[in-house]
Amino acid sequence: MSLSDRKRRILKAIIDEYIENAEPVGSKIIAARGRLDVSPATIRNEMSELEELGYLEQPHISAGRVPSTAGYRLYVNELMQPQQISVSEAEAINRALGSRMRELEKMLREFGRLVSQLTNYTTYTLTTHASSEKVKKFDVFLIEPRTAIAVVVTSSGILKNKRIKLGYPPSENEIFIATRILNMYFTEKTLDEISLSLIKRAASEAGELASLIVDVAEFAGEVLDETREGDVYLDGISRILNHPEYRDPEKAQELLSYLTDKQGIIRHAQEHFSDDVLPGQIRYSIGTENNDLPLKDAGIVYGTYDLGKNLQGVIGIVGPRRMDYAKVAANLNYFITGFNKLLKDSFFTE
Amino acid sequence: MSLSDRKRRILKAIIDEYIENAEPVGSKIIAARGRLDVSPATIRNEMSELEELGYLEQPHISAGRVPSTAGYRLYVNELMQPQQISVSEAEAINRALGSRMRELEKMLREFGRLVSQLTNYTTYTLTTHASSEKVKKFDVFLIEPRTAIAVVVTSSGILKNKRIKLGYPPSENEIFIATRILNMYFTEKTLDEISLSLIKRAASEAGELASLIVDVAEFAGEVLDETREGDVYLDGISRILNHPEYRDPEKAQELLSYLTDKQGIIRHAQEHFSDDVLPGQIRYSIGTENNDLPLKDAGIVYGTYDLGKNLQGVIGIVGPRRMDYAKVAANLNYFITGFNKLLKDSFFTE
DNA sequence: GATTAGCACTCGGGGGACGAGAGTGCTAAA
DNA sequence: TTTAGCACTCTCGTCCCCCGAGTGCTAATC
φ, ψ for residue B32 (rounded to 5)?
A: -70, -45
| Mean pLDDT for the stretch of residues B19-41 | 86
* pLDDT for B349 beyond 50: no
Q: What was the pLDDT predicted at B350? A: 38
pTM of the predicted protein model: 0.87
Q: Is the dihedral of CA B83, B89, B91, B94 positive or negative?
A: negative
Is any Cβ of chain A less than 8 angstroms from the Cβ of B157?
A: yes
**Closest by alpha carbon to B80, among B325, B301, B297?**
B325
Q: What was the pLDDT predicted at B309? A: 62
Q: What is the DSSP string of B56-114?
A: EE-SSTTS-BEE-HHHHHHIIIIISPPPPPPHHHHHHHHHHHHS---SHHHHHHHHHHH
Q: Is the CB of A52 under 7 A from strand D?
A: no
Which residues 85-114 of A have a C-beta within 8 angstroms of B? 102-103
Residue A145 burial by Cβ neighbours in a 10 Å radius (0-12, 13-18, 19+)? exposed
Collect all residues with Cβ–Cβ distance below 8 Å to B270 and sequence separation of at least 6: B128
**What tens digit of pLDDT does each residue of A234-255 get?**
999 999 999 999 988 889 999 9
CA distances from B107 to A146, B98, B232, B346 (A): 21, 11, 13, 13
Which residues 191-250 of A have a C-beta within 8 angstroms of B? 237-238, 241-242, 246-247, 249-250
Give the mutation candidate from B155, B216, B238 for the A interface (greatest A CB count, under 10 A).
B238
**What tens digit of pLDDT does each residue of A140-153 get?**
888 788 888 888 88
Interface A–B counts its CB contacts (< 8 A) at 80
Dist. CA B254–CA B256, nearest whole Å: 5
* pLDDT for B278 beyond 90: no
Q: Does B151 contact A157 at a Cβ distance shorter than 8 Å?
A: no
* pLDDT for A121 beyond 50: yes
**What tens digit of pLDDT does each residue of A159-190 get?**
888 888 888 888 888 888 888 888 988 988 88
DSSP 3-state assignment of B36?
Answer: coil
Mean of all residue pLDDT scores within chain B: 86
Is any Cβ of chain A less than 8 angstroms from the Cβ of B262?
A: no
* pLDDT for B347 beyond 60: no
Give B159's strand partners.
B153
Distance between A144 CA and the closest CA of chain B, angstroms: 9
Contact B151, B139 (CB under 8 A): yes
| Mean pLDDT for the stretch of residues A207-227 | 85
Q: What was the pLDDT predicted at A310? A: 61
**What tens digit of pLDDT does each residue of A28-51 get?**
888 887 677 888 888 888 888 899
Per the structure, the residues numbered 45 to 104 in protein chain B that have their CB within 7 angstroms of any atom of strand D are 47-48, 51, 58, 61-65
* pLDDT for B245 beyond 80: yes
Please tell me the least confidently modeled range out of A91-95, A305-309, B100-104.
B100-104
Residues of B in contact with A99 (CB under 8 A): none
Q: Is the CB of B5 under 7 A from strand C?
A: no
Q: Is the CB of B190 under 7 A from strand D?
A: no
Q: What was the pLDDT predicted at B275? A: 57
Mean of all residue pLDDT scores within chain A: 86
Is any Cβ of chain B less than 8 angstroms from the Cβ of A157?
A: yes
Q: Does B151 contact A151 at a Cβ distance shorter than 8 Å?
A: yes
Residues of B in contact with A253 (CB under 8 A): 238, 241-242
DSSP 3-state assignment of A291?
Answer: coil
Q: Is the dihedral of CA B204, B210, B214, B216 positive or negative?
A: negative
**What tens digit of pLDDT does each residue of A14-31 get?**
999 999 988 999 888 888
* pLDDT for A73 beyond 90: yes
Collect all residues with Cβ–Cβ distance below 8 Å to A235 and sequence separation of at least 6: A109, A112, A113, A115, A116, A122, A123, A124
Q: Does B159 contact A157 at a Cβ distance shorter than 8 Å?
A: no
